[in-house]
Structure 1
Amino acid sequence: MKPRKSDTPQRLKIGWASRDISTDQPVDIPGQFHIRVSKGVLDPITATALVIDNGEDLLIFVSADLVCIRAYLVEEVRARVKAQEPRIPVDRIVINATHTHDGAGYFCKAIAGMASPDQVPHEGIEIASSDDYRAFLSGAIADAICEAYANRRPGGIAYGYGFAAVGHSRREVFFDDLSKRPNSAGRPGMMVDGHARMYGPTHDPMFSHYEAGMDPFVNLLYTFNARGKLTGAIVNVPAPSQCSEMRETLSADYWHDVRQTVRAKHGDIFILPQCAAAGDLSPRIQHYYAAQQRRFALKYGADPKGALDLAQRRDIAERIAAAFDEVFGWARREIHTALPIRHEVATINLSRRLITDEEAANEARELRALEAEPFKHDGTPEQQLRHNSILVARRNRCRGVLARAEAQKTQPTCPVELHVVRLGNLAFATNPFELYMDYMHRIQARSPFEQTFIVQLAGGSSDTAGYLATERGVWGGGYSASLYCNQVSPQGGQELVEETLKRLARF
């Protein structure tokens, strides 16, 4: 049987570029229920672009130090790229977020779970225009893509995997149903607890176990120029970058420390971070906090009573850099300079998490109560903004549930943009969700490829993709697995698995 043309190895051309997407303007920092306003730049947030082309097909990956990627941002970037460089197939552009909780806000409208500055009075507090920042951001990303495309030169890739403990289960399960405890009124518009809670108290006598384990895999792809010199790497880790998630300064979080640590040894190479499936994971260690405080105090001289996030970031960076070096030591023995590339883009429809009539009626009652609650007018402007933006976010989340209850009558599924890429015997598969880890393992276990990189929070789909929880997650409830957080059902999650595997098998 004659091989398909796309299966024939072709010489690779590789190009990189990056842009600093930081701003000194007082922009909104999304990632919490309350509005935070940037007070400066702790460390640079960046957008990094990689193009790998074999003359028949190509991949265009962009990683941005942002909390998420909205469809309209992807559309703006693609439009700008098309205008600047018509030869670039813009449907091949994949933009993923590192999920830093200290990235700049660029949203053009309020979304479920967040309050936009135009919905909340903020007299005495300047908040810069998110539209202005988005114009800067989309231009910077488009410029990086066009530059990376122009920078394509003959080169090669190597790949492998190592280990680094970064993400830990952030969902604690209890012997009892938390919603049935005395004085457990819940927080409408935020979460609905059951037997599980995100960041639940592990010192509680009824604490049973973590809902999931952890995934220590670090998937790595290295790029080289024609002389065999290392030029950059994709570093794929199943953990969001949210050690510094409560700060009021822009920051790439632990990825900044990773870049510094890796570059200290390997020179000024490009680092393109990808967050693998980590909807139920985070860098936080819940049950060993006291031991962690002691570790950071002795190892880094950190004040055990102060903020430990910077020590935690440094600790994580050292582990990722160690994995980077360990894998590089053996992966570079096999550098591929000619490989088949196939990049399939599809819109798939996934089953919604349906809202029951009872749930919709309850949310309507809760929304009326929240709308009757007045804004806070005493205290400092900052205290008012915090309180009032949380109130608005809760209202928005209730409205989101009611909107979904109406939409599901005629639209029982959610459209999702899916990218599946073959690069030799290596594969990439994207999704727009904060995807629970189990789905990644289901794909990787059945993938026909040696190594499969799962990339979450890759935009181009619904503006409110949210978390995609598992069956056991929905059973446990809590933040990330409640009706407020899940557009798509566990059934839809398995549909994502099957649709991804179907396309991988065609390669």
Structure 2
Amino acid sequence: MHAIPATWAFRIPAAVILLAFSCYLQTGNSRVLAEETKPVFRAGAATSNITPPLGELIVGGWQPIPATNIHDELHARCLVLDDGNVKLAIVLCDNVGIPREVFDLAKQKIEAATGIPASHLLLAATHTHSATTARGPLKTLAETDFTDYQRFLAHRISDGVRRALAQLEPARIGWGKIDEPSEVFNRRWFVTDTSLLANPFGGIDRVRMNPPRGSSRLDRPAGPVDPEISFVSVQSLEGRPIALLANYSLHYVGGVRSGDVSADYFGYFAKFIGDKLGATDQSPPFVGILSNGTSGDVNNINFREQSPRKYERYEKMQEVAEKVASRVFEAHQQLTFHDWVPLAAQHMDLTLKTRQPTPAMVDHFAKITASSESNSSRRRSREEIYAERIGKIQQAPEEVSIPLQVIGIGDLGISAIPFETFAETGLELKDRSPFKDTFTIELANGSYGYLPTPEQHRLGGYETWLGTSYVEENASRKIVESLLEMFRSLQQDNGRK
């Protein structure tokens, strides 16, 4: 660069020199100011113990039984994200299904204590079948109407979110997916033997849930499965793992001792993924979370084959959790982390009609009830259980308002459905979502029974029986369209950030 001749210096007015220097200072100050005002992405996580007292009823089977032992503690596993403008929380609870009223009470407490709006709180159950009940005939948010455990659960969920909020720190976030097809099988089957298809309503279905394993009478599965494990990982700016939330469309695994309380494979996953990420014995503690995807018609039994061997108690659920954690860890090695992504959430209530018993059903179960009253000492039959359920439905409202929710994390969309949802519904949402990546958390923000598609309703089977499924047969279609519309709105909002 050539120097300016000294003889030229007098030709540059002092005002011009001052103006140039002022512009330089303003540009530098603007750059510094932009750095200072750039939003910071933060994350925090915590667990909250929700283990019930012994004696509470475990409701995973046909007949409730009292809890006599705690095999492993139950938790509400909480993740809070903050993009500098929007905060949201995701909580997974070790429970078979939690009523909306209990979740709403928890949200009420969280919003009052933290300011995070209820629309930005996604609370869900894992669907472990070895936890005690949080259900009950609730109609208001008056705490006096709740059972002791329901009040305790709502408080502990609130406490967990508040503790996760207190752990917020600058963080990076990434998400990924990987398939694990070896543990997901559709449990609804077409069979060639009509004796396997009788239902408690006095009729014959077209498909059977959980048919005999390895039977020559099996024809084909009645629906698809979703083998994909989706996950979200957050870590500190230095690379310390903070939390990992995974999603797998597999029902509980089971294999517990009678009377044991356990978080099932969801709890084991939380431990195993922390071990694989080298996140044990750190402070703050790492939080592993596994949510239940759309698995209302899926379990891990390969019905084509005889059981290869007899598993010890808790062995199979550990095997499944280890396999899922290993696959997540494998994909995690290739993960791209982002220093900042926009967050967004939307919530709506959708009104659905409830299914009502036909006069023929009422007459059928009236006869069942009359005959069972004369022999009350024996174990109740399937017909007697459904007679009781039909009696309750006759007293229930003809409409129900159910909560739907979507969350946007950058290019990732998460939908929340308060039902045990069939795999094909989750696959449709993934296929039609405007987000690059999508997964669904079921039994979220409430618990309203099974959600078969209209096509599956026509096939019958346990998941479609009135008393197992409560809402109109077209409900899944209305829910999918509502969620997709919310996704589109959410993506537009994210695009404006």
1:187 pairs with 2:200: yes
Aligned-residue CA RMSD in angstroms?
A: 2.7
Q: Report Cα offsets for 1:316-338 as digits up to 9, x if no partner.
A: 1221111111111001xx21121
Task: Give the direction of change, closer, same or farther, for the CA distance of 1:502–1:91 in structure 2 (3 Å limit).
Answer: closer
For structure 1, the residue ranges without an aligned partner over 5 or more in a row are 1-7, 112-128, 294-303, 379-383
Residues 166 and 283, structure 1, Cα contact 8 Å, conserved in 2: yes
- Superposed, 1:479-490 pairs within 5 Å as 479-490=462-473
Q: Which residue of 2 aligns with 1:78?
A: 107
Alignment partners' CA distance in 1, 2:214 and 2:203:
21
TM-score (norm 2): 0.82
1:368 deviates by 4.7
Q: Which residue of 2 aligns with 1:126?
A: none
Residues 14 and 155, structure 1, Cα contact 8 Å, conserved in 2: yes
Q: Report Cα offsets for 1:445-470 as digits up to 9, x if no partner.
A: 0111111021100024xx6x211112
Alignment partners' CA distance in 2, 1:363 and 1:9:
64
Task: Give the direction of change, closer, same or farther, for the CA distance of 1:422–1:324 in structure 2 (3 Å limit).
Answer: same
Q: Report Cα offsets for 1:70-98 as digits up to 9, x if no partner.
A: 01111221233244x15232332211111
Q: Which moved more, 1:393-402 or 1:66-75?
A: 393-402
Residues 178 and 196, structure 1, Cα contact 8 Å, conserved in 2: no
| Partner of residue 233 from structure 1, selected from 244, 254, 266 | 244
- Superposed, 1:42-81 pairs within 5 Å as 42-81=71-110
Q: Which has the higher contact order (CA 8 A, sep 6+)?
A: 1
- Superposed, 1:449-460 pairs within 5 Å as 449-460=435-446
Q: Which residue of 1 aligns with 2:291?
A: 274
Task: Give the direction of change, closer, same or farther, for the CA distance of 1:469–1:391 in structure 2 (3 Å limit).
Answer: closer
Task: Give the direction of change, closer, same or farther, for the CA distance of 1:287–1:237 in structure 2 (3 Å limit).
Answer: same
Alignment partners' CA distance in 2, 1:207 and 1:267:
45
Q: Report Cα offsets for 1:456-492 as digits up to 9, x if no partner.
A: 00024xx6x2111123321221100223322234422
Residues 220 and 324, structure 1, Cα contact 8 Å, conserved in 2: yes
1:133 pairs with 2:184: no
- Superposed, 1:215-364 pairs within 5 Å as 215-244=226-255, 247-265=258-276, 266-268=278-280, 269-291=286-308, 293=309, 304=310, 308-331=312-335, 334-350=336-352, 352=353, 354-355=355-356, 359-364=358-363
1:192 deviates by 5.7
Structure 1: which amino acid aligns with 2:301?
Answer: R
1:33 deviates by 2.0
Q: Report Cα offsets for 1:335-370 as digits up to 9, x if no partner.
A: 1121111111111234x46447xx233224413531
Q: Which moved more, 1:448-457 or 1:488-497?
A: 488-497
1:437 pairs with 2:423: yes
Structure 1: which amino acid aligns with 2:326?
Answer: A
1:260 deviates by 2.8
Residues 65 and 100, structure 1, Cα contact 8 Å, conserved in 2: yes
Task: Give the direction of change, closer, same or farther, for the CA distance of 1:147–1:51 in structure 2 (3 Å limit).
Answer: same
Residues 173 and 340, structure 2, Cα contact 8 Å, conserved in 1: no
Structure of higher CA gyration radius: 2
Structure 2: which amino acid aligns with 1:346?
Answer: M
Structure 1: which amino acid aligns with 2:188?
Answer: R
- Superposed, 1:408-487 pairs within 5 Å as 408=398, 411=399, 414-460=400-446, 465-487=448-470
Q: Which residue of 2 aligns with 1:87?
A: 115
Task: Give the direction of change, closer, same or farther, for the CA distance of 1:59–1:244 in structure 2 (3 Å limit).
Answer: farther
Alignment partners' CA distance in 2, 1:33 and 1:77:
29
Residues 343 and 408, structure 2, Cα contact 8 Å, conserved in 1: yes
1:233 deviates by 0.3
Alignment partners' CA distance in 2, 1:493 and 1:435:
8
Residues 30 and 36, structure 1, Cα contact 8 Å, conserved in 2: yes
How many percent identity over aligned positions? 21
1:247 deviates by 3.1
Structure 2: which amino acid aligns with 1:498?
Answer: E
Structure 2: which amino acid aligns with 1:394?
Answer: Y
Residues 34 and 389, structure 1, Cα contact 8 Å, conserved in 2: no
Alignment partners' CA distance in 2, 1:179 and 1:262:
40
Secondary structure of 2:69's counterpart equals coil
Residues 390 and 466, structure 2, Cα contact 8 Å, conserved in 1: no
1:37 deviates by 0.8
Structure 2: which amino acid aligns with 1:230?
Answer: P
Alignment partners' CA distance in 2, 1:354 and 1:90:
29
Structure 2: which amino acid aligns with 1:276?
Answer: G
Which ranges of 4 or more aligned residues in structure 1 deviate by more than 6 Å? Answer: 389-392
For structure 2, the residue ranges without an aligned partner over 5 or more in a row are 1-36, 140-144, 281-285, 492-497
Structure 2: which amino acid aligns with 1:310?
Answer: Y
Residues 242 and 287, structure 2, Cα contact 8 Å, conserved in 1: yes
1:150 deviates by 2.0
1:26 pairs with 2:42: no
1:168 pairs with 2:182: no
Q: Which moved more, 1:415-424 or 1:197-206?
A: 197-206
Q: Report Cα offsets for 1:271-315 as digits up to 9, x if no partner.
A: 122111111101233232332x1xxxxxxxxxx3xx545221122
Secondary structure of 1:277's counterpart equals coil
Secondary structure of 2:463's counterpart equals coil
Alignment partners' CA distance in 1, 2:450 and 2:95:
16
Secondary structure of 2:91's counterpart equals strand
Q: Which residue of 2 aligns with 1:117?
A: none
Alignment partners' CA distance in 2, 1:484 and 1:23:
27
Size of the aligned set, in residue pairs, is 442
Q: Which residue of 2 aligns with 1:297?
A: none
Task: Give the direction of change, closer, same or farther, for the CA distance of 1:63–1:451 in structure 2 (3 Å limit).
Answer: same
Alignment partners' CA distance in 2, 1:486 and 1:433:
9
Alignment partners' CA distance in 2, 1:482 and 1:100:
22
Alignment partners' CA distance in 2, 1:360 and 1:24:
42
| Partner of residue 124 from structure 2, selected from 89, 93, 96 | 96
1:34 deviates by 0.4
Structure 1: which amino acid aligns with 2:267?
Answer: H
Structure 2: which amino acid aligns with 1:429?
Answer: S
Alignment partners' CA distance in 1, 2:323 and 2:302:
15
